[in-house]
Structure 1
Amino acid sequence: MQRRCRSSKTCSPSSATILSWDSPHMNASVSAYTAHAPLQPRDATLHGTLSLPALCAHLQDAAGAHATQLGVSQTDLLAQNQSWVLARLQVELDRLPTWRDTLTIETWPSGLSGPFAQREFLFRVDAEAVGRATSTWVVFDQTRRRPARPPQVLSELTWPDRPPALSADIPEVEVPAQPDYTRRFRVRFHDLDLNRHVNNARYVAWALETLPIGWLDAHAARGLTLHFKSETTANTPVAATATVFAGGPEHAPLRVVHHLYHADDDTTLALAETRWAVR
């Protein structure tokens, strides 16, 4: 049985072209995929803990490896002039792994709606659960620069019969009227990925770098909500703002709302909320 995305609001299909092909790798039933990522110094902050951009990169790697196993990898899609693009992501962390840990990531697809495909993640260190994430992906038409429907073979699968990693839909992020911090960036060659636009982990890095080093040094990440609104290509001037909000109820994390936009025409590129605990 095909499973649908949990929210019609966040998964409403937009205008999309149709992509379909047969894959010899496809099975009628899908199992979760498990990846083991030994964390390296390059994955760590100055505190030795896993950084949010590095975590996003590892989640993308695990999703890509599972897509390869299912016969719908980036390579498979690129042959059709298509690619997978991350549209939304929500991450909740119980604690941050350190660079000496091996991060075990369990991931599985959990639904389709129009051009959108839902994917879940659980991550552990040894037997300890350290976090979870849910994500929404879209197949992107490289020529038309617009969404395309996922491969037909995906709609013929039986998804794993298990609850989503996070119980709630990915919430929207509202742009504050008065930001606390603003920085500008320009898209460089090494910011670009196979799709010739900025990779999702780079957006996260820009959002965080808008905050002062002293602020980042004093806080530990506990969560991330991310919405991609428009692609960003080479030489684009990007402005990023950050607004810090108090945590609210006792023990609630601090919230920071991030807005990344085209510095020349104010087009929103991405919206994010990061959540933090004081070290």
Structure 2
Amino acid sequence: MNETLQLRTRYRVTSADTDMHARLKLSALVNYLIQSAIDSAELLGFGFSELKKEHLFWVLNRLTVEIYRPIKWNETIEVETWPKDIERIFYIRDFIVRDAQKQVIAKASSAWLAIDLVSKRPGNFNKEKMELFTRLKDVHSLEYSPEKLGSTINKGYEREVVPSYFDIDLNKHVTSTRYVDWMMDCFFSSFHTVNYPSFLSINYMKETMQGEQLGVMHDAQDPTHHFEGFNMEQDKVAFRGKIIF
């Protein structure tokens, strides 16, 4: 049974997923992880379609990723993922990314919420499905939980973004990967030329809708960079992030 809980999916890195130096974009790596999580959940019977029957939907709340080398254009990589445990209201899912030689090139852990469609508050699905989330609680990718980020930024807005049509996903809010792009866009091209991220943590605090203005703040404490996105329409923090190069 444990083997069926661990899904392995192969991806070929296309040019659309890379930067101008033919390296996998951080947001594209996050997208591979999310797509693998979606496929795994569907196969195990608690995907988006099944949760909708229980008036619930999945929301990614926290993600922490360690990256051990740049991933390049045309590489074939394998993402392994499994549901690991339940921590209070969070459903923990881990990931391991391997290259064609089976070398581990990234590891990640994520925390998800099952949100009630009506109340928009965390809920639970039936006990039989919940049991699947604890069978592999001793199988770890990272040896720690996805990071909870506190507020560490006191400076003004560095840049402002207004989400447009193609920033929005099927839940009609800003898709998870766009926040990663907005953080990475805080750097000049010359910085990216000589730097590649080795670590990402991001917390999704509040959904952002199309047309809502977001102020993205950035505080550099090399090699660690902290970010906070403030939704000016809602007067709330939308996300917090940390990237290490």
Do they superpose with TM above 0.5? yes
Q: Which residue of 2 aligns with 1:171?
A: 147
Query: Which amino acid in 2 is paired with 1:59?
Result: L
Q: Which residue of 2 aligns with 1:270?
A: 239
Q: Deviations over 1:75-105 (max 9, x none)?
A: 2223443211101000001112112111100
Q: Deviations over 1:209-231 (max 9, x none)?
A: 12233322331111101111111
Q: Which residue among 66, 70, 95 is the counterpart of 2:40?
A: 66
Q: Which residue of 2 aligns with 1:223?
A: 199
Distance 1:262 1:185 in 2: 10
Flag the structure with higher helix content: 2
Q: SS at 2:197's partner residue? A: strand
Deviation at 1:52, TM superposition (A): 0.8
Q: Which residue of 2 aligns with 1:198?
A: 174
Q: 1:47 to 1:164 in 2, by over 3 A?
A: same
1:183 maps to 2:183: no
Are the equivalent residues in 1 in contact too, given 2:54–2:125 (CA < 8 A)?
no
Deviation at 1:147, TM superposition (A): 1.7
Are the equivalent residues in 2 in contact too, given 1:191–1:199 (CA < 8 A)?
yes
Q: Deviations over 1:170-222 (max 9, x none)?
A: 33333334448711111212211122211111111112112233322331111
Runs of at least 5 residues in structure 1 that lack an aligned partner in the other structure: 1-26, 247-253
Q: Which residue among 186, 190, 195 is the counterpart of 1:210?
A: 186
Match runs of 1:122-137 below 5 Å: 122-126=96-100, 127-137=102-112
Question: 262-271 or 94-103, which moves further after superposition?
Answer: 262-271
Q: SS at 1:36's partner residue? A: strand
Structure 1: 4+ residue segments shifted above 6 A: none
TM-score calculated relative to the size of structure 2 = 0.91
Distance 2:227 2:118 in 1: 30
Runs of at least 5 residues in structure 2 that lack an aligned partner in the other structure: none
Q: SS at 2:198's partner residue? A: strand
Q: Which residue of 2 aligns with 1:34?
A: 8
Are the equivalent residues in 2 in contact too, given 1:139–1:149 (CA < 8 A)?
yes
Q: Which residue of 1 aligns with 2:129?
A: 154
Are the equivalent residues in 2 in contact too, given 1:117–1:138 (CA < 8 A)?
yes
Q: 1:199 to 1:111 in 2, by over 3 A?
A: same
Distance 2:76 2:156 in 1: 36
Distance 2:71 2:6 in 1: 22
Are the equivalent residues in 1 in contact too, given 2:153–2:228 (CA < 8 A)?
no
Are the equivalent residues in 1 in contact too, given 2:2–2:136 (CA < 8 A)?
no
Q: 1:96 to 1:141 in 2, by over 3 A?
A: same
Q: SS at 1:58's partner residue? A: helix
Q: Which residue among 223, 234, 237 is the counterpart of 2:210?
A: 234
1:261 maps to 2:226: no
Q: 1:171 to 1:71 in 2, by over 3 A?
A: closer
Are the equivalent residues in 1 in contact too, given 2:116–2:122 (CA < 8 A)?
yes
Q: In angstroms, what is the RMSD of aligned CA positions?
A: 2.1
TM-score calculated relative to the size of structure 1 = 0.80
Identity fraction in percent: 23
Q: Deviations over 1:110-150 (max 9, x none)?
A: 11134321000000111111010000011122222222224
Q: Which residue of 1 aligns with 2:119?
A: 144
Q: SS at 2:9's partner residue? A: strand
Query: Which amino acid in 2 is paired with 1:240?
Result: V
Distance 2:72 2:50 in 1: 34
Q: Which residue among 93, 108, 115 is the counterpart of 2:67?
A: 93
Q: SS at 2:5's partner residue? A: coil
Are the equivalent residues in 2 in contact too, given 1:29–1:159 (CA < 8 A)?
no
Deviation at 1:30, TM superposition (A): 5.1
Question: 141-150 or 157-166, which moves further after superposition?
Answer: 157-166
Distance 1:211 1:151 in 2: 45
